Amino acid sequence: MGLINHGFGQERKDFQIKEQYDVFIHHVLDVVEHPCVVNADQPLDDYLDEIGETFGDGCSRLLESYLIMYETTKDKAYLIKFVNVLDCEFQLRFDQLNLPASYLALHDGSPYSWSLINDSGTPTTILYIDGQIIWPMAHFVHLINSQYPDLQSFSTPLAHNQWLGAQFTFGELADWLGQRVDETIDRYYWGGYWKGAEKGFSAHPSDDDAMVINLQSAIAAAMYYMGQNDPNEYYLQAADDIASDWFRTLVCFPELRPVLELAPPNRYQWVDIGWKYPCPDSDDDYEDLSHAMQSLELPMTVKDNTIWAPYHTQVFSETDLVRLHNAYTEGAYAGATPFTIDGVDYENPHFHAGIDGDDDIDYNTVFSGLDQTRGTVYSATWLSKWDDTSGASQQTLYDLIMKLYFHDLYGQGVSALGQYTNATSIPYGLAQLVSEQWERECFSLELRNRVLSYDQDFAAKDVLVIAPGNGPGRSFADPETFDPVFEIGSGVKCNMKAGSAIHWEPGFHAAYGSTVHAYIDPAGCGMGYKVRAGLDASINAERSDVVHPVPDPERQVVNRAEWAIAPNPTDASSIVRITLCAMVGDGVVNLYDVSGRCLYRSPVIERDQSEFILPLYGLALAPGSYTVVQQEGGKVLAASPLLVK
């Protein structure tokens, strides 16, 4: 059984990275991460020793990977997983544990710390781990309240939070979680740790020296999200100060050195005595990629197009992002080893774990198959967005990471993850790689065994396959099933869209009362697959580089009998005649590309106007799929795909 359309293939489109990620995350939770209940028979210090390696950094990357996967796929299963791991994490916050007074004293007696580390931990690592943990939590709050407000009313018994009761909405959870994150941020900002714009946070209120700058990146990212969620000028300004500290020259002995040094050809490198403030007596540069992974959380957040702040317009410019991109393609990249499979030649890229030396740089290369470099290189995938920007190296980061993936992880099981840092940084990096693959390639998607109990959309640019028998046994989505079935529950609405074909294999079942809508997008591989909810009608420019939510034409169109656009398909030099929906007040017509950028905004259309002429000439539209939207006072009246040949 299937729907078929003719399409075209693209290189790497068949890499099942999303499906592999789904298998990996079970392993991370079951083997690498640890249970959230302290064993009464185990000494506290021993327990904290055991979980200290992964709880902060590890859970941070795992949680953030869920959010990246949701933003790419719009599959609510990832948000449900986020919520359930969050429920587990909150059980370990200090105010939820009966900790001895000596342990609380090490943490200044605060009940709002999440930093479960043993007594050998230092105050520096405590603030750092707290920042790591609350960063994805703050992102979730921002995602629900600002990016996808339609999710505020979503409720499912599959998501657990023992403090909110048996049933709650994601909006209620975001409000509750926002208060918990604010408690932790306020503990540091108002508790004497904040030392002003030029230093940021210190490791302890009595310490006048700034923390190592990269250890402040995660808490600054959290402050950006929370400052935007419930406008807080203190948070936004402090986060901007920390971001600006990346570009300051810090006073160190024996010399003045910047945090980021510009090296040929047009790339940044991290400077050891710049990161550490006050700085050690060292003349060496050290581009440490394992630390860069945590540090890059801040520029990644600042460049999130949903974040607004009046301060950071000059922080992490396009030029800066290109230079950070080149740090991997020109600095960390250490060449490739050729290999052949079935007569086809391939390359295995290598990356330096660090670059040591000052005037005469001595590259210390680490090629070990399971060293930290693997996970940290995948975690820089988001910088591949600057592959084609002026000043970027000829070698694209996306190409290098895809080659690394093919040699390193393609077709591999969970044993390829390794332990600790890799085990969580690799899924975090793979989530970024899925996002880039789905944006660049004509990807296919395979849905495996699953029981669907809530409304959900699925989309693939090429082929969408429902193959319940191809799963690893346990389903990745809740509720878990080990049966080779794909079941859509009664009352559930499921939309399936593909550019080429949709195939249903044995094991698919739609219960009585469910609604399944499957269709082929005429745009084929040029279709828009990212369905965004909650269209913002306040776009005030005819053409914008800002990405805005675009409604799904199949789910949000009303008054469809009145709405029509013709000709469709059309060409880029023509006009399109639009029969408008009836309006109570004045409205507008907007044209969006597949990424959500507004390419055209009409003048105000009066309420009694029944037709509008959309001029495509002069917009320089490339062939592909676009979305035409009619709005009135912020409400979406109608939306339809427009195919430009």
Does residue 598 sit in helix, strand or coil? strand
The mean per-residue pLDDT over the stretch 526-550 comes to 40
Per-residue confidence (pLDDT) for residue 287, from 0 to 100: 60
- Helices then strands, each counted (H, E), the chain: 17, 26
The mean per-residue pLDDT over the stretch 74-101 comes to 85
Most confident of 188-197, 296-305, 314-323: 188-197
Per-residue confidence (pLDDT) for residue 536, from 0 to 100: 27
pLDDT, averaged across the chain:
78
352 neighbors 287 (Cβ within 8 angstroms): yes
Give the tens place of pLDDT for each residue, 124-148.
567 888 898 899 999 999 999 988 8
Beta bridge partners of 631: 588, 636
Give the confidence band of 459 by pLDDT, cuts at 50, 70, 90.
very high
Question: Both tokens of residue 104?
Answer: 């609380």
Per-residue confidence (pLDDT) for residue 42, from 0 to 100: 45
pLDDT of residue 594 exceeding 70, the answer is no
d(CA 86, CA 594): 32
Chain Cα centroid distance, residue 596: 17
The residues, any chain, with a CB within 8 Å of residue 598's CB and separated by 6 or more, are 539, 541, 543, 544, 546, 548, 590, 591, 592
Residue 303 neighbours by CB distance under 10 Å:
19
d(CA 509, CA 511): 6
Per-residue confidence (pLDDT) for residue 397, from 0 to 100: 95
pTM to 2 decimal places? 0.78
Give the confidence band of 311 by pLDDT, cuts at 50, 70, 90.
low
In the chain, what are the domains? 43-245 (no CATH), 443-522 (no CATH), 553-644 (2.60.40.3080)
Signed CA dihedral, 388, 392, 394, 395: sign only: negative
